[in-house]
Amino acid sequence: MLLAIDVGNTNIVIGVFRDAESELLHSWRLTTLRERTADELGMLVTNLCQHHGVTPEDITGIVMASVVPPLTSTMLAMVRNYFGGTPLNVEPAVNGGMPILYDNPSEVGADRVVNGIAAYEEYGRRDERSVIVVDFGTATTFDAISAKGEYLGGVICPGPQISADALFQRAARLPRIDVRKPDRVIGRTTVESMQAGLFWGYVDMVEGLVRRMRAELGGNPVVVATGGLAVLVAPETTLIDHVETELTLRGLRIVWQRNRGA
């Protein structure tokens, strides 16, 4: 079996594939805590696997992407100690298998390139279409993949929860709220007004940036959404073509396939 690990700023997402060719069997999300030790992570991950009948001995391949440097070495140590192997740690400019046209390729987060790889293989390659990937994570990222399968670049914006927290911290009379779809745009309470601004302002931001990226790319790019808020935002716009909640894990599987010979 293949173990795929995506270390993000908010969550660590873990998935198990039957092998490098098959679909995802199980996936789990852990809260990202930079203070966790390799032993804490090892107990959590092995217990989750064993709960679904997967033992460390069943894992014959491991692939990982991390955008949290303090946890990268911790996770590598956990994998070595609890699964007895050395994972393929995705470095987009080295082993990602996708040309990166960023001015400095090493600046691109591994998750952004991995998402681009998965979306292009699923929706772009067959019809030779460019792809826009919108990842609704801690930050909201928009990534452009050419019709040739090249990573062109993208846009980085604060996620809606970051914006909500900033309002709470910087405006003395505004409460801390969760981001959710309000019943109407014109709020009749402070909380409703904040929710309307955060949610509908966020939807309009997504639509505006996707339109601008489509115009710049030309042709008819396919738009793929992933991340925690994708299922909430996607129904409110006609510009998102597909929602793939496990896009990063699927991209990690593809990178593993490309590197398994090495």
- Residue 257 within a domain: no
Q: What is the pLDDT of residue 206?
A: 95
Which structural domain range is residue 243 located in?
93-250
Provide the number of structural domains found in the chain.
Answer: 2
At 123-135, the pLDDT tens digits run: 999 889 999 999 9
Using the predicted structure, report yes or no on whether residue 262 has a pLDDT greater than 60.
no
Of 89, 108, 126, the last residue of a domain is 89
Distance CA 138, CA 8 (A): 8
The pLDDT of residue 244 is 93
Contact between 231 and 140 (Cβ < 8 Å): no
| Amino acid letter, residue 112 | R
Residue 106 lies in a domain: yes
Is residue 64 situated within a structural domain? yes
> Residue 261: inside a domain, yes or no?
no
The answer to whether the CB of 98 falls within 8 A of the CB of 92 is yes
Same domain? 118 vs 70: no
Q: Is 135 a catalytic residue?
A: no
> Of 19, 58, 103, 111, which is the active-site residue?
111
- Asked whether residue 23 falls in the same domain as residue 38, the answer is yes
Domain shared by 133 and 230, yes or no: yes
Given 89, 109, 124, which residue is the final one in a domain? Answer: 89
Q: Are residues 34 and 48 in the same domain?
A: yes
CATH number for position 178: 3.30.420.40
Identity of the amino acid at 116: G
Res 163 pLDDT > 90 = no
Alpha helices in the chain (DSSP H): 38-51, 69-83, 92-95, 110-119, 160-170, 190-217, 230-233, 247-259
Quick one: which H or E segment has residue 48? helix 38-51
pLDDT at 135: 95
